[in-house]
Amino acid sequence: MSILSLNQLREGASPLAMTEALIALALEAGTAILAVYETAGAARSEAKADGSPVTEADEAAEKVILAGLAALAPEVPVVAEEAVAAGDIPPVSGPYFLVDPLDGTREFIKRNGEFTVNIALVEDGVPVLGVVLAPALGEIYWGDATGAWSGRVAGAAVVERRPIAVRRRPEGGLGVLASRSHLSEETSALIDRLPVAELLSVGSSLKLCWVAAGRADVYPRLSPTMQWDIAAGHAVLRAAGGRALAAGTREELAYRLPPVPGRDDLVNRHFIAIGDQDLIDLVA
């Protein structure tokens, strides 16, 4: 992979070049994940210090992505889940990448296919570019300054590319997404106050992508997440016309880090993702 810096992009290189490079990296990481997923050892995991599981696939995918980003944009810090778990958090003074090599490890262990590879670029507190790949489902989503897109994956290549956008608020009630593995009492209480026509459950960052693609209207998450869990999906949602509001506010969820961040700095505020902007009054 050729080296492509952010400065080169700003100086006139194709705005699609970085996006296509991250798509290629996600596909390569997805191939590494599926190589583990298709073996008898796919369900083996260890517990990290925070109690969350980690598998051989998480580590293999992150290795692929870190090597690719080091070649792609060596001057941009990379904050990656498994590296952070090992105590490796780089200094951050400008744009940075956020990497969750396998979001939905519990779904991976359950073998339901609802896990994703997530790569995002954050600038000035905003996820400006994101790629989300669900390798077992053959689905990919991405968002950047040109808009939001989805595609099918066949033979480690993206096919059937199409633009996506959030949908208008349905008159008959909302499609509301709930986490399959992390549904809190606070989230359940909020859902109970909404005019729900359909309650959907899916794992990982696919929830944000489903709102972006017009498959649902609201995804409330009133329980802890980390920046790498949601930044790529948030980028797709923003590009599709949606928002992720900090819970209890009308403000977009922001990604801010001190120059020398610690793990606690990477914990997100609770948030509510919406498609139609007219839903702000209902959820804020």
| Residue 254 is assigned to a structural domain of this protein | yes
Read out DSSP for 60-103?
HHHHHHHHHHHHH-TTS-EEEHHHHHTT-----SS-EEEEEEEE
| Residue 135 is assigned to a structural domain of this protein | yes
Handedness of CA 233, 208, 29, 45 (dihedral sign): positive
Same domain, 154 and 185: no
Query: Among the three residues 115, 139, 164, which one is the final residue of a domain in this structure?
Result: 164
CATH at 244: 3.40.190.80
| Residue 1 is assigned to a structural domain of this protein | no
Same domain, 152 and 185: no
Q: Give me the domain span that covers residue 223.
A: 174-283
Distance from the first to the final alpha carbon of the chain: 44
Same domain, 155 and 204: no
276 in a labelled binding site: no
Looking at the structure of the chain, the number of domains it has is: 2
Q: How many residues does the chain have?
A: 284
87 in a labelled binding site: no
Same domain, 246 and 113: no
pLDDT for the residue numbered 284: 85
H helix count then E strand count, the chain: 9, 14
| Residue 180 is assigned to a structural domain of this protein | yes
| Residue 58 is assigned to a structural domain of this protein | yes
Amino acid present at 163: P
H/E element, 278: none
pLDDT average per 10 residues of sequence, the chain (284 residues): 48 69 95 88 61 82 96 93 95 96 90 95 96 97 96 92 97 88 80 94 93 98 95 98 97 96 96 97 91
CATH at 20: 3.30.540.10
Same domain, 139 and 205: no
217 in a labelled binding site: no
| Residue 62 is assigned to a structural domain of this protein | yes
102 in a labelled binding site: yes
Q: Are 213 and 229 in contact (CB under 8 A)?
A: no
pLDDT for the residue numbered 51: 56
100 in a labelled binding site: yes
Same domain, 95 and 180: no
For tokens 């349905």, the residue is: 170
pLDDT for the residue numbered 16: 74
Same domain, 52 and 136: yes
Q: Are 214 and 167 in contact (CB under 8 A)?
A: yes
Same domain, 134 and 267: no
Same domain, 42 and 183: no
Same domain, 120 and 245: no
Same domain, 199 and 148: no
Query: Among the three residues 137, 164, 191, which one is the final residue of a domain in this structure?
Result: 164
264 in a labelled binding site: no
| Residue 169 is assigned to a structural domain of this protein | no
The CA distance from 241 to 256, in Å, is 22
Same domain, 133 and 32: yes
229 in a labelled binding site: yes
